[in-house]
Chains A and B, each alone.
Chain A
Amino acid sequence: MQVKINGKPEEIQSGTVLDLLKAKNIEPQMVAVEVNDKVLERDHLATTHLNEGDQVEFLFYMGGGR
């Protein structure tokens, strides 16, 4: 099915947000995940199933400033 990840359309296996993170090799603790403009609680990553057309944002920590 197709979803948008960080603005780009992508074909992914159906499954949960956690499955997607694993497939992309992203450590769940290093990212905030938004689905359709709503931030997911970390303990909901494994229970939130993605649907066709969902807009997923992986928001990475960006900490520098000096």
Chain B
Amino acid sequence: MEFTEEQINRYSRHILLPEVGGKGQKKIAKSRILLVGAGGLGSPAALYLAAAGVGTIGLIDSDVVDLTNLQRQILHHTPDVGRPKVQSGKDKIQALNPDVSVSMYEERLTAGNALKIIGDYDVVIDGVDNFPAKFLINDACFFAEKPLIHGGILRFDGRVATIIPKKSACYRCIFKAPPPPGLVASCQEAGVIGVLAGIIGTIQATEALKLVLGVGRPLTDRLLDFDARKTQFREIKVRRNPNCALCGEHPTITELFDDGDPYAGCAVRPSA
């Protein structure tokens, strides 16, 4: 695969980087990245990955754009209200960079379709808003052996972590199972400062590109927590848990399953 003159111009600020160069830009152009959720986190990730020249971006989302999304989901604009998010997302990605091909999945990720969809990608970005889905993505990436960039946002707090199955701590190593639905507030109740989606989603995109390029040190075995009130990042060391039900020494989860009702709520952070 050779770049055209226009492409060399478009990606010149990448190609100038010794860590990227023409070779790295070709890796990006061949890469396939799946965004589970074309919402708050998926939006900035999609735009930067598109700008970077990722070969194929997969968008999976069953929702249509709602007016309340526009405060943070910058992939969608006012005239898109009522349109499927995957369609609206595809339009923006291709307007930004026609080199990118977009695969749309207008459905929810389930235990039934997850492995088939994820299997087609190199890296998966978690941009979903509920715990059962976060656990499902974690499990599916483990079984498909695909790196996962986990993300979460709530109120003024955000979190990112990179999970390389069988090599670094997984989501279940730390959080064994979704929290009991009764104790969880819904996203609508909880609220989020919109720009936080940009901060966390762009870190997720950075991690994905680093993996594609094989550059630097991934955010593995660490949780990166961000507190927007204080503008403070904090890194929490984590490690693989030998008792992990999924990736531990004696796993009890041996196949994919839907771990609870996906509409059971959004997030919780009791005061501490």
Contact = CB atoms under 8 A, between A and B. Distances in A.
B272 A24 contact: yes
A61 B131 contact: yes
Contacts of B58: none
B167 interface: no
B interface, size bucket = 35 or more
A6 B272 contact: yes
Interface stretch (B87-95, B100-108, B153-161, B211-219): B153-161
B7 to A, nearest CB: 32
Contacts of A38: 239
Contact of B158 (A24, A29, A62): A62
7 contacts: A26-B272, A30-B183, A39-B173, A62-B153, A64-B40, A65-B129, A65-B134
A34 B243 CA distance: 14
Nearest to B169: A39
B207 to A, nearest CB: 15
Interface string A32-44: 1010011101100
A14 to B, nearest CB: 20
A65 B174 contact: no
B17 interface: no
B238 interface: yes
Nearest to B85: A66
Contacts of B174: 32, 34, 39, 59
Interface of A: 5-7, 24-27, 29-32, 34, 37-39, 41-42, 57-66
A39 B41 CA distance: 27
Most buried by B among A7, A24, A30, A62: A62
- State the 5 A-B residue pairs at the shortest beta-carbon distance, nearest first: A66-B39, A62-B152, A63-B267, A66-B129, A60-B269
A6 B267 CA distance: 19
B268 A66 contact: no
A7 B237 CA distance: 11
B268 A63 contact: yes
Interface in B148-184: 151-154, 157-159, 173-176, 179-180, 183-184
Given A5-B272, A62-B154, A64-B40, 14 more contacts: A29-B183, A34-B236, A37-B239, A39-B241, A61-B131, A61-B269, A62-B157, A63-B152, A64-B129, A64-B192, A65-B40, A65-B134, A65-B197, A66-B69
Given A59-B236, A65-B152, A42 B190 contact: no
